[in-house]
Amino acid sequence: MQSGKGKLAMRIIAVLLSALTLFGLGGCKKAETQPEPEPLDGGVTDRTDPSAPKTIASGEITEYSVNFRLNGEWSPGNKNVFYAFAVRPDASGVLTASESLTGVSAPADKALLDALQAVVDEYKLAEQNGVYKLTAGIDPSEFGPCTLSVNYASGEKLSFTVDNDPYEPWARATYLAFAKWFAQQGIDTLLPPGLGTMVTFVSLEVRDGDKSYSYGFEPEKNDKGQDVFARVRNGEKDSAPMWGTQEFYDNLSAAIQDFDLSKYDVSSPLYGYEQTEADKSDPSSAAVQLTIRYADDHEVSVCSSAESVIDDLAWLLDVLLDFFDDQFPGG
């Protein structure tokens, strides 16, 4: 038989156990948490941190990662895929740049980090710092999450997650920054078709008010078996045998190899294309008509009168006009 004190103690223990059970604290079973409800199709999950700074004082990147999908075949054999780039220390502590889809990697250097920071600055990516905003129910193979994360020597961090945009300009610029840097390390896996390879054919026509210039190859060789390059200026035609054919192509390739023309290519799935209404109704009347063919048979064709395109191409057009005129006696 229990004493009065013993019965009182047992009652106290029972009350405590009831209280523990009531508040989910008793026993060995872990308290279950209810999962957050999934947003309905088209619903938005917004976990944006409004306190995240919108400016980054440092420009010295210490670690970097990004993933995105670009529309088109950016690296040979990889069409409409998500790329995942990173710059972080490897197992040995060496800062290494890599891309997981293609498996490329190489020790990173300041040139790459500066190129990536230039993209951050040009496209004002710090203004998106702290954003986390995703839409449910959209095609994840195209519009899935796109995340950028950058750590700086100052301790600052830039990070955001948004729905992927397969035509996003800053993502294009980021891809090309990595692709061209890897190519400089002897790894051309990421270079878009045609970019960085030898030019094998070119034709150019430029109209400026009542002036017109066109350059191109004659379909037949001259009587000495030489390739002939023709020029028509304001309706007057002349031609000249190409001096040192290989030298011509080498110099031409060198003149344009760093200029990304894909953005203006009429058939490229990689970039947008700008035309005026007149261009659409009569492409042959376009102010700039440029065709370049590369050694891998990739061809870029630009056909536009849009002022933005002409402004962007002004430097290249000047280089090409000077280069072509040099092929003729007297320039």
Report the alpha-carbon distance of residue 158 to residue 59 in Å, rounded: 11
| Whether residue 287 has pLDDT greater than 70 | yes
Instruction: Please answer whether residues 124 and 54 qualify as being in contact, where contact means their C-beta atoms are separated by less than 8 angstroms.
Output: no
The encoded tokens of residue 58 equal 């440092």
Report the alpha-carbon distance of residue 301 to residue 299 in Å, rounded: 7
- The angle at the Cα of 88, spanning 116 to 151, to the nearest 5 degrees, equals 60
Q: If you average pLDDT over every residue of the chain, what do you get?
A: 80
Instruction: Please answer whether residues 257 and 251 qualify as being in contact, where contact means their C-beta atoms are separated by less than 8 angstroms.
Output: no
> What are the residue ranges of helices labelled H in 167-224?
169-184
Instruction: Give residue 258's pLDDT.
Output: 60
Q: What is the DSSP string of 57-94?
A: ----EEEEEEEEE-SSEEETTEES-EEEEEEEE-TTS-
Give me the amino acid identity at 70. L
Residue 228 vs residues 245, 275, 313: alpha-carbon distances, Å:
10, 32, 26
Report the alpha-carbon distance of residue 5 to residue 254 in Å, rounded: 98
pLDDT tens column, 42-94: 588 999 999 999 999 999 999 999 999 988 788 888 888 999 999 999 999 99
pLDDT tens column, 122-155: 999 999 999 999 998 888 888 999 999 999 999 9
Instruction: Please answer whether residues 233 and 242 qualify as being in contact, where contact means their C-beta atoms are separated by less than 8 angstroms.
Output: no
Q: What is the pTM of this model?
A: 0.57
| Whether residue 14 has pLDDT greater than 70 | no
Q: Name the DSSP letter for residue 191.
A: S
3-state secondary structure of 161: strand
